[in-house]
Chains A and B, each alone.
Chain A
């Protein structure tokens, strides 16, 4: 209903100003070469993830994440037709593994970061906006969570609940949200004192309205940047945990898991150290470019949202 009214008022081809702001941000992203690289990388990975069933056809459609293996030979075999990237220990196909691993990576990254965003923002907003004793209590709880060591926690959870990717994600979430809560709280403490928040209160806005319409939209940018940088970091950490044997089951399509399989073959026999380069390098490269893409995007977002640099 309101949208129609907007159209009637707007003259000619003038766009809605929010659209203007969005296209302005987009143009800034596209003009920055590094961010363009980051965006392209992520786009490529997105395509791989979306078209995984077509690129690497699963043997059993109901269990696509199980990497096919034709034998049980421990020694990795180099690339050959049928196995474009070669096979790793127990003859798991590397190509299949990294393609479906992309889906896993996105899943880990987005779900973990999504969860800690929600938890962090909720906790941080309440703590920052209300202040006083609520703030104290919540911050002390945050301190406790911050003190938990990731590795030990992951091991404990895996021991208790079993070895799976979901359990790793749980431990990442448990350890990861305090920073977000702190960051949001910090932004809110500043924004809370700004005149326009007081003005909204002076007009009779209730607490919810003030938080959601005034405080959060202005306080959220630092966390968003943190989140985009963290997606890559989470995937990296999950890969490390998988490498240590805490993550996915053997044979599951996960990049870290694949490197874990190749543990004994990182260095080849005497005289030929790089004989089995493909078992580590290929999953490693996938991890590298995935994390790089998100990092570049996060940097670009930070430059774009910095109000001082924005209109330079």
Chain B
């Protein structure tokens, strides 16, 4: 499914937080949205998954304006992994993933055997089937994130939106989660913190600064030393590792200006 964000703007009171952003994600692409704290990454995603109503502009899923759909219809097309990971209720892993079936249910519908198969498959896909009966809140950060991705899979959507999927995760889990997301091959838009991870896994990257897209394109075109310096205010060296062919960004010093 294709996602098209057209000139979207949003603000709180007089402060413009998202300024006329344009973004496209083609079927199967993994798009990274990067930028420093407060650059508008999360706000942009919240506009895409309809948590905030845009002040101007539009978002299309396969040429259809999402604001013309019900929220439920949107949820059948787009699954989201947000940063809400803690709650005060003790749901099991299985129950958490079952929530992914919510947009497919009418008022009187019960869980079916088909739902059960979907939940098991989703859990197996993220390697969490054996923990299905565990309490969600007893899991580690990486495990929680896997379960939330399983819930997104159970939603049977064709677009996946992830808000900093590797946040607070150990190194190993960061790579595991990114490998997992890469393996799904559905249209994905992910806000990311770690530039090296973004460079390694994303097809294309949008670089945000103060609510605007300052650069977009393939990782090697966006993540240049000059661009990173102007957006993040740090000096870096960017090199291509001969062993992997991957972009490698090394921090050298804080830019003082």
Pairing of A with B: no
Q: Interface residues, chain B, CB within 8 Å of chain A? A: none
